[in-house]
Amino acid sequence: MYPDRKTDTGVRAASVPLHHLPAAPALLRLCSPQGDSRLALWRDGALRDLSAAADADLHSLDALLRLPVGETRRLLESNAIAALPELDPDAFELLPPVESQEVWGAGVTYFRSREARMEEATEKDIYASVYRAARPELFFKGAGWRVIPPGGRIGIRPDSTWDVPEPELAVLSNAHGEVIGYTCGNDMSSRSIEGENPLYLAQAKVYEASCSLGPGIVPAWHVHPATARIDLTIERADQEVYSSTARVSDMVRVPAELVSVLYAAYPLPSGAWLLTGTGIVPPSTYTARAGDVITIEIEGLGVLTNIVRQVTHTGAQAPPHLTAPSPP
């Protein structure tokens, strides 16, 4: 476990954990000691400061994602990168790899996810149907500024009785709908709220600190995660309480095709992250508690670790005020 600290945005962040970074090149977002964010490229054991590049398109993730994928690749593979200043990883904090991008999710893309949803749900047929349907389930997960960084504290709702992490391949696309790269994603979910009624999906999925991404963006031309192994480990009081493994190849939909459906009627000028669903669902005997340590590792993409906390809930309710129908 590595220490987490508070940034100027109030989000928890960790010093750059080199042992959690992928072997392949990766784009990282960093917070400097002065509180400003930097875009850096991790390559050949060094962090290069892209914010110092002559080309302004390398200064931010938003700028890079406005370009076609071929131009992005040309810039990141330029010989000029090697001449950029090298950053000391101990002097920076690791931020989530997201700026103005929205985060979306896809559901019921693995057989295990289908089975789990049917186990928890009062309306079971809806999940069996969408698993085989031509149209996938897509839902909004959150704005980029809400994403929790590696090492940060991810949330569970106090009005939920059954909460689980969902380890997922996260796919980054640009403004043109082209796949740019990948990272690890944690889509925290309330199984009790969604299981009560499928229409409660948004409340089960979208709340404070419900999503984490990281450690960095591995460009699509450096990795092919179609068969990558996904590992989930959960520790409580320094004891492992759950672990499991899946493979991206267990998915019944193609990630790039899910991205194309997301963009079909919804322009995304800053690009987007898409969480592509989970093949690992902890059993009903496990529910996340504050202090649990969740570690997700995807082959070739690095390691994402978070600590669970309970988020604040006001106790607000909106019960229906129904009146009896008038007699005929």
Q: In this predicted model, what pLDDT tens digit does every residue of 68-113 receive, in sequence order?
A: 999 999 999 999 999 999 999 999 999 999 999 999 999 999 865 5
The two counts, helices (H) then strands (E), for the chain are: 7, 20
User: What digits encode the pLDDT tens for the residues 244-274?
Assistant: 999 999 999 999 999 999 999 999 999 999 9
Provide the domain count of the chain: 2
Same domain, 73 and 194: no
Residue 316 inside a domain? The answer is: no
Residue 134 inside a domain? The answer is: yes
Q: State mean pLDDT over 200-226.
A: 97
Share of the chain above pLDDT 90, in %: 84
Band (116; pLDDT cuts 50, 70, 90): low
Same domain, 88 and 112: no
Q: State mean pLDDT over 307-325.
A: 94
Residue 33 inside a domain? The answer is: yes
Range scoring the smallest mean pLDDT among 119-128, 251-260, 316-325: 119-128
Same domain, 90 and 110: no
Q: Which among 66, 77, 76 has a CA at the least distance from the CA of 39?
A: 76
- Beta strand 189-190 with 211-219 is unpaired
Boundary residue ending a domain (95, 120, 144): 95
> For residue 236, what are its two tokens?
């409580």
Same domain, 162 and 238: yes
Q: Would you call 283 helix, strand, or coil by DSSP?
A: coil
Q: State mean pLDDT over 314-325.
A: 91
Q: Which among 191, 215, 221, 222 has a CA at the least distance from the CA of 205?
A: 191
Q: State mean pLDDT over 157-164.
A: 97
Same domain, 131 and 31: no
Same domain, 52 and 143: no
Residue 87 inside a domain? The answer is: yes
Residue 173 inside a domain? The answer is: yes
Boundary residue ending a domain (65, 95, 125): 95
Same domain, 150 and 270: yes
Task: Report angle CA 257, 261, 263 to the nearest 5 degrees.
Answer: 115
Same domain, 32 and 112: no
Residue 325 inside a domain? The answer is: no
Same domain, 124 and 249: yes
Residue 246 inside a domain? The answer is: yes
Same domain, 118 and 197: yes
Same domain, 156 and 179: yes
Boundary residue ending a domain (34, 67, 95): 95
Task: Report angle CA 258, 116, 253 to the nearest 5 degrees.
Answer: 20
Band (40; pLDDT cuts 50, 70, 90): very high
For residue 12, pLDDT beyond 50: no
Rg over alpha carbons for the chain, rounded to the nearest Å, is: 20
Range scoring the smallest mean pLDDT among 213-227, 265-279, 314-328: 314-328
Q: Look up the CATH number of the domain holding residue 188.
A: 3.90.850.10
User: What digits encode the pLDDT tens for the residues 290-304?
Assistant: 999 999 999 999 999
Domain that holds residue 48: 4-95
Q: Enter the pTM of the model.
A: 0.92
Q: Is the dihedral of CA 109, 65, 152, 1 positive or negative?
A: positive
Q: Is the dihedral of CA 172, 184, 190, 248 positive or negative?
A: positive
Q: State mean pLDDT over 282-286.
A: 93
> For residue 15, what are its two tokens?
């010093």
**pLDDT value, residue 8:** 34
For residue 122, pLDDT beyond 80: no
**pLDDT value, residue 18:** 94
Same domain, 142 and 90: no
Burial class (CB in 10 A: 0-12, 13-18, 19+), 118: middle
Measure the CA–CA gap between 308 and 247, rounded to whole angstroms.
25
Measure the CA–CA gap between 136 and 143, rounded to whole angstroms.
21
Residue 321 inside a domain? The answer is: no
